Structure 1
């Protein structure tokens, strides 16, 4: 499975390696015959050839030694000394030739062991001679010592490597058997030399002679049967020579001889002459057979050389040609595949995204130019290239259709969102009119609830606008205090009563970012409220830092896993392309788009309280220090819309009564609260100027500020609302009902609440009327 998945280069390399290994095996099979031939020639010239003359001289020395011991003479005669001298000289030549480096390398382990055995036996020859000369060895012991030495030579011959040609190897073994048969006859001759020297057989010696003669005849007959025809003729002729026939006749007489009879039927001189002639002629015929064997080996050697040249030389050329062809073919194949791969990458990485982006921008795209055909030839790779051209054109066409479809969907979303936004603004306008003329507190409370739901619907419509890639139409021309920005975000959250607003500092947000920051904070606060238990609060705080302004939103929920936090942060930092599928977390996508628009950093992290903390870093170019903490007449700051919940500052959460009172009141201008006020009322605000025609919501500017009475507090620390406190003097009831300071807000009677709401409604209307007059005067002056 791994090789199947390997690269083309690896597969071709494996093919080349296997081809080289196949050539090496074939070359070695052929080369081995040549190597055997070379090693055999080396061993023959370095070991066999020098050993044969030494073996003959050892056989002669054995005969002279046995003959001297049979005669009972201990003194060394001249013939014995000359023979030993010849033997020692040939021994030195043999040991010198057999210890060469080339010969050592040519011998196998078996031949090396047999050669070492021969050298050991030759080393014992001097001791055997001394023992014989000192009379410590008799005839039989002396013959045994020489026989042991000579047997080591024949064992060495048996270890010589054979040829791979079976016929030649068989002929070589046959000649070796003939040579061994000659050694048996030489032993027979040495035994008879001793017998003739002492003048007769012992029974043991006669039995040994009969056994040796029988072995000689048997081995000779077996060897003659195995000889090839050309060698058999020469050996048949040798058998018919006079010395051989005389030896056979004398052997027959000596075999039939009775040891008790006297004298011997054959003379020693007659036997010696015939035996020497037989041994000499047998050696000559055997060597001639060896020469003929070498002549038959020559064609075999030539054939080995020819096969070696063919398998080694031509095979090597074929392997080299195959390797060159494989490499060039592989390079061409890989080059075409690389071209095809690069084309595929260019299509997937550059062309398709570019086509999709241009179509998304509404540009016309020429598919024939964007997906040009690739020419790879007419071979198999070319056919794959043609198929890829078809796939490429289809892919570009489908990508264009998909991009057009996504653009159409975004346009549909934008159209629906704009329509919904216009309807919501009209709904808010209708609600505003109804709130102004409603005096019933219960009905007014329900209208305020509808007002709050409409604001949330407006945010959802703006979400669709953001998803479609456009910007909402709500904008501000001037800076807005940061606390009003956060309050504006809370106005778009359903569970705003669970939000605790900490002091935000005297900081203002520039107008061009107010709408998007409100939207971004509303999404994050909504998420924090939704994913935390209903009995917990969400805390919002802000402060200036070195890189800008930081707003932290912390909930007390179950929190998120580390991998989910990482995924959410990555999604916000690098927002993906919006698709219809995979929209489980649209809020994060909206936040990421809004943050990317103003280079705002949004990071989610684990809260030490067990929930999640969202850190929103506004860059320095979006925030400014507020030089005028409270707005003055004709000031340069704008205020947020009136539709916002009443949230508690200074870490005090909003209660139901607190929220209902502040939520139902229309934003009337007020003087700065005294230092003793722990929780100031929400500031009135100006509405943004709509940039789109379908955004119809309008708001009235604040009226002239009036003096606000000092706030009183309940035992729980909440501000105590005073009925008719903000009404114009002409509308105030001369006998207002002032609740007891120790009475809880929840225990007010319906009449008190109705009177309070009516007073607030009247004051709000008066304040809006005065504010409208101020705006008209300012407009007239500017004109």
Structure 2
């Protein structure tokens, strides 16, 4: 799978994930409200009701404990025994409530529903309950006072009410406010229970101490204030609480409270019967009021609860359906898009890697190419991707058509190269034949020198013309039927460069090169020698040598010039190993390009290396299949400079030429001449009447040299390459 396809899928997945995240957030908010309803019900049944039962049991035990301690202080044995029995029963009820409470709040449902604050309050209440047995023991042993015992039980009840505060929470602000005020009213009943415990102890003891009177007044004030605060937050429930708060039961009990407060410390302010007759109806009416107000709150919370359930269904249910539908639609759409994109990608890849290269190969082979067949239209539908596909169809048709036009342009340029090169070749070969005839007729040494220079210049022009043929992919035209000695090839290559007088030839082992490769190898070596001469100081020499190796014959061209960096050497060797297609702008290394093409034609290996003398050494490895054998040793003679001719005035200033060692055919006999012209050709001096014998020797020497040159060209004319121009089948 391509990276673009992966990114497309990743983007679609990201959009789906974003949609799912939005749905999850909305669902969470809605579900949280639904869970709040569920947790409220769970907390009410698993925490609230057991805590309420425990609080009532503790309140009753508190009152019974106060009565028992008061009777014990008074010394009333009979009444104390009865109070003890009632206290034990209250303690038993409290223990049962504690057991139920602990089992309920430690259940799984309660732990899931309770908050951290609720859990902390439950832990605090549990710690107070753990201290209850020790408090009972101290009370039974008479080690604590009645006020301390009632304070302990009041603290336990207070922790219970703190638990009520943590579980009375609703998402609706109005409902939550009602629950808070209902809890405040409920605390008013707790204060009534504290009054009951205090006065019950006072009645049992038969005396009302100043501290107890002050505590009673404080509790009464707090109880009435708490009730007023609670009903103030329930303005819509006046019809429910006003009849109770203004009713006879609560009014009679408040009158009794006022009487006790006004009476102050002293004897018991009221009898037990009167206290119970006033307290119990008031307490019952307030308990019923709490129930009525709670029912009204539940009725008011029904509407928001229903809306929460509706939102839960819409957000969690319909939202989930929408998300699932979006996912399915996105997946199917993504698959369709990815499929179309894959088709478009495969078509582009096939065009770039298969069809266009195939078209180029066919065009290079000269075949005709049908553009419509090579660029068929692509069907992608009528959507946006289909429109992109239609545009790509036009693009690929244009690409194929441009490739055809470019191939035709290159073919035309190549044909122009070939035509110009062939014409230049014909003219140059005609010029060379004309120069040969003139050299045979001229006897004046000065004229002969000029003719030799023109002959050499024409030979170089012929090589430049052959470069055009190499660039166009055609053959140069020069060919031999019989093998040619490598020494002659080296000599012919050096004769095609300008500074041939700076070249030192060391033929090495005798070998012959197959005739079909002679012309290209001469051209290849001439390019290498010319590069060596061009990048060497004019006072240095270039050494050319050859040697037989196990895989063929090696020729080395070594200069002592400027050299090349490692990066340039690597780049040049790569160009020689695999010459690219020639471009009209590739003129910087034209010689290396021609060498690479010629070497590639005959599987010759050419490599450039750094020379020990600072220059560059070009190594040419001719394969064994092109080496036809060794000529007889009797036919080879190594000639060195031995004959010195009289000096001749130079035509132009030049540096002294290095001697050249040549391996040539022994027939016709040739004498080596060391005096040369500025171009490096042998010098024939002007006629001198005082030295007729010397002139005859020079004329004979030049005649022998011309006969040897004519003989070599005649052999090339006898065996021209097949399908080539006979006029081009000469060698220099």
Checking the alignment, whether the CA contact within 8 Å between 1:482 and 1:504 is kept in structure 2 is: no
For 1:324 and 1:679, the matched residues in 2 are separated by 88
Higher deviation after alignment, 438-447 or 323-332:
438-447
Partner of 1:689: none
Partner of 1:610: 614
After TM superposition, give the deviation of residue 375 of structure 1 in Å: 2.3
Higher deviation after alignment, 400-409 or 541-550:
541-550
For 1:42 and 1:438, the matched residues in 2 are separated by 132
Structure-to-structure mapping, 1:560-599, within 5 angstroms = 560-599=564-603
Structure-to-structure mapping, 1:373-772, within 5 angstroms = 373-631=377-635, 681-684=662-665, 705-706=668-669, 757-764=698-705
1:516-559: CA deviation from partner (whole Å, max 9, x where unpaired): 11111221222222223334333333333333333233333333
For 2:431 and 2:373, the matched residues in 1 are separated by 51
For 1:722 and 1:523, the matched residues in 2 are separated by 27
Partner of 1:216: 223
1:668-715: CA deviation from partner (whole Å, max 9, x where unpaired): xxxxxxxxxx9864415xxxxxxxxxxxxxxxxx9x545x78x8999x
Q: 1:140 aligns with which of 132, 137, 147?
A: 147
Checking the alignment, whether the CA contact within 8 Å between 1:428 and 1:451 is kept in structure 2 is: yes
Partner of 2:729: none
For 2:193 and 2:212, the matched residues in 1 are separated by 15
SS in 1 for 2:481: coil
Structure with the bigger percentage of helix: 2
Distance 1:772 1:519, change over 3 A: closer
After TM superposition, give the deviation of residue 460 of structure 1 in Å: 0.7
1:178-224: CA deviation from partner (whole Å, max 9, x where unpaired): 21221122222222222223333333322222221111111111111
Partner of 1:642: none
Q: TM (normalized to structure 2)?
A: 0.85
Q: 2:125 aligns with which of 118, 121, 127?
A: 118
Checking the alignment, whether the CA contact within 8 Å between 2:507 and 2:662 is kept in structure 1 is: no
Partner of 1:128: 135
Distance 1:157 1:559, change over 3 A: farther
Distance 1:649 1:176, change over 3 A: farther
Distance 1:548 1:53, change over 3 A: same
Distance 1:655 1:393, change over 3 A: farther
Checking the alignment, whether the CA contact within 8 Å between 2:638 and 2:664 is kept in structure 1 is: no
Partner of 1:256: 262
Distance 1:656 1:297, change over 3 A: farther
Distance 1:348 1:279, change over 3 A: same
Partner of 2:654: none
For 2:620 and 2:536, the matched residues in 1 are separated by 19
Partner of 2:28: 28
Please tell me whether residue 347 in structure 1 is matched to residue 351 in structure 2: yes
After TM superposition, give the deviation of residue 464 of structure 1 in Å: 0.4
The runs of 5 or more residues in structure 2 that have no matched partner are: 649-658, 676-681, 720-732
Q: 1:364 aligns with which of 356, 363, 368?
A: 368
1:114-149: CA deviation from partner (whole Å, max 9, x where unpaired): 111111111111122222222222122222211222
For 1:17 and 1:345, the matched residues in 2 are separated by 33
After TM superposition, give the deviation of residue 586 of structure 1 in Å: 1.5
For 1:137 and 1:291, the matched residues in 2 are separated by 42
1:24-57: CA deviation from partner (whole Å, max 9, x where unpaired): 1111111111222222222222211111111011
1:639-659: CA deviation from partner (whole Å, max 9, x where unpaired): xxxxxxxxx989x9x99999x
The runs of 5 or more residues in structure 1 that have no matched partner are: 633-647, 662-677, 685-701, 715-720, 725-732, 738-751, 779-783
Checking the alignment, whether the CA contact within 8 Å between 1:503 and 1:649 is kept in structure 2 is: no
SS in 2 for 1:159: helix
Distance 1:233 1:493, change over 3 A: same
Higher deviation after alignment, 590-599 or 90-99:
590-599
After TM superposition, give the deviation of residue 414 of structure 1 in Å: 1.0
After TM superposition, give the deviation of residue 626 of structure 1 in Å: 0.8
Checking the alignment, whether the CA contact within 8 Å between 1:439 and 1:757 is kept in structure 2 is: no
Higher deviation after alignment, 384-393 or 44-53:
384-393
Distance 1:203 1:759, change over 3 A: same
After TM superposition, give the deviation of residue 163 of structure 1 in Å: 2.0
Partner of 1:672: none
Please tell me whether residue 237 in structure 1 is matched to residue 240 in structure 2: no
For 1:391 and 1:713, the matched residues in 2 are separated by 69
Q: TM (normalized to structure 1)?
A: 0.80
Partner of 1:717: none
Please tell me whether residue 8 in structure 1 is matched to residue 15 in structure 2: no
After TM superposition, give the deviation of residue 408 of structure 1 in Å: 1.0
Distance 1:606 1:310, change over 3 A: farther
1:417-438: CA deviation from partner (whole Å, max 9, x where unpaired): 1111111112212222222222
Q: 2:282 aligns with which of 278, 281, 287?
A: 278
Query: Could you say what the CA RMSD is over the residues aligned between the two structures, in angstroms?
Result: 3.7
For 2:34 and 2:717, the matched residues in 1 are separated by 121
Please tell me whether residue 160 in structure 1 is matched to residue 167 in structure 2: yes
For 1:526 and 1:361, the matched residues in 2 are separated by 33
Checking the alignment, whether the CA contact within 8 Å between 1:501 and 1:649 is kept in structure 2 is: no
For 1:90 and 1:293, the matched residues in 2 are separated by 27
Partner of 1:638: none
For 1:776 and 1:528, the matched residues in 2 are separated by 31
Checking the alignment, whether the CA contact within 8 Å between 1:193 and 1:272 is kept in structure 2 is: no
Checking the alignment, whether the CA contact within 8 Å between 1:168 and 1:297 is kept in structure 2 is: yes
After TM superposition, give the deviation of residue 621 of structure 1 in Å: 1.4
SS in 1 for 2:279: helix
Partner of 2:199: 192
For 1:168 and 1:358, the matched residues in 2 are separated by 87
